[in-house]
Amino acid sequence: MPNPRIAIVFGSDSDWPTMEKCVAQLKTFGEKPFVEVMSAHRNPDRVQIFAASAEENGIEVIIAAAGMSNALAGAIAAHTTLPVIGIPLVSGSMQGMDALLSTVQMPPGIPVATVSVGDAGATNAALLAVQIIARHDEKLSAAYRKFKSDQADKVAQRNQRVQDKLNS
């Protein structure tokens, strides 16, 4: 694929251990995202330029993650018509609760889809982005259906192990 369809942006390089999980999940579907560190507070001009030009650069979904105030997702959503998925990250004295509330409390007219805090949110943001794009990409849709089927198979296997222990 010549241009990435999914962008992942986050507020600090210290967020990489969490965001790496997002990138890894996307790669399992053959998606190689655009990735960049940017800050709504420290380099707001870059955020605005990125958000305003993302669609013309082939981006279809933007994943934005930050801790504390997590203004990044909202700042991006204010400058684009693309779907934005916000990941609240664990940081500061509130351990992600502040980022969660900031991400989910967007004003009317500036929607940001919000996933869970931290690592689980990074994985789920990738999956949500895949679901969005899969609506018009049959190959990606088939891969996502297989992913869901594989998840169900794993649960059945775990159940069988428990049942075997109960019956022994």
Instruction: Give 57-102 as a 3 state SS string.
Output: HCCCEEEEEECCCCHHHHHHHCCCCCCEEEEECCCCCCCCHHHHHH
How does pLDDT run across 100-141, given as a tens digit for each residue?
Answer: 999 999 999 999 999 999 999 999 999 999 999 999 999 999
Task: Give strand pairing partners of 3.
Answer: none
Judged against a pLDDT cut of 60, whether residue 92 lies above it is answered with yes
How does pLDDT run across 21-39, given as a tens digit for each residue?
Answer: 999 999 999 999 999 999 9
As for how many domains the chain has, the answer is 1
Q: Is residue 50 part of a domain?
A: yes
> What's the domain range around 32?
6-136
Judged against a pLDDT cut of 60, whether residue 97 lies above it is answered with yes
- For the domain that residue 102 is a member of, what is the CATH number? 3.40.50.1970
Q: Is residue 150 part of a domain?
A: no
